[in-house]
């Protein structure tokens, strides 16, 4: 729903800009130019360095390193700058594939759920956190419990 609204707003703004350009061009050009607005036939994607439609290329994960911590073994995942900023709906899936390429042993339901939570929420709440720490000893919980525990169910945050 939000994307449709944003898309409609972008198309509307684009039409206004094109219409204004068409009107100002009419006064500066010769009599053969048309003053009719230019039709917008396809959506226009506007991007900026932090815009909602930003598409940044992989890699999204810089490293995945195991560490011994107070809560047990922890896979410390360091996202790249693009991994921190990308807004593509498929980037999280690509980032998880990168984690598994770095450490195939991370492929467990609990680790994937922790990663998904960090990808979805930690990037927004704490965008400069150096690593996202995933622990295999954490329980598998419902999405609601995962969010309520700030992506760290069953024991304190590492």
Least confident span in 25-29, 72-76, 109-113, 146-150: 25-29
The reported pTM is 0.66
Asked whether the CA dihedral 92, 119, 63, 135 is positive or negative, the reply is negative
Q: What are the pLDDT digits (tens) for 15-41?
A: 322 233 333 333 333 333 333 333 333
Between the two ends of the chain, the Cα-to-Cα distance in Å is 36
pLDDT score of 47 = 38
- DSSP for 96-148, written as a single string: HHHHHHH-GGG-SHHHHHHHHHIIIIIHHHSTT-S-EEE-TTSPP--HHHHHH
What pLDDT, on a 0 to 100 scale, did the predictor assign at position 3? 36
Reported as a pLDDT band with limits 50, 70 and 90, residue 51 is low
């Amino acid at each position: 729903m939000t994307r449709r609204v944003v898309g409609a707003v972008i198309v509307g703004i684009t039409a206004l800009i094109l219409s204004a350009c068409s009107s100002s061009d009419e006064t500066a050009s010769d009599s053969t130019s048309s003053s009719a607005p230019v039709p917008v036939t396809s959506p226009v994607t506007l991007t900026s360095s932090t815009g909602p439609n930003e598409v940044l290329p992989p890699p999204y994960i810089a490293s995945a390193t195991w560490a011994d911590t107070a809560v047990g073994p922890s896979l410390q995942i360091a996202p790249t700058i693009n991994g921190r900023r990308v807004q593509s709906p498929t980037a999280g899936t690509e980032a998880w594939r990168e984690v598994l390429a770095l450490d195939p042993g991370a492929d467990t339901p609990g680790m994937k759920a922790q990663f998904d939570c960090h990808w979805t929420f930690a990037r927004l709440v704490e965008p400069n956190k150096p690593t996202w720490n995933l622990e295999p000893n954490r329980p598998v919980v419902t999405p609601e419990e995962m969010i309520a525990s700030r992506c760290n169910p069953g024991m304190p945050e590492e």
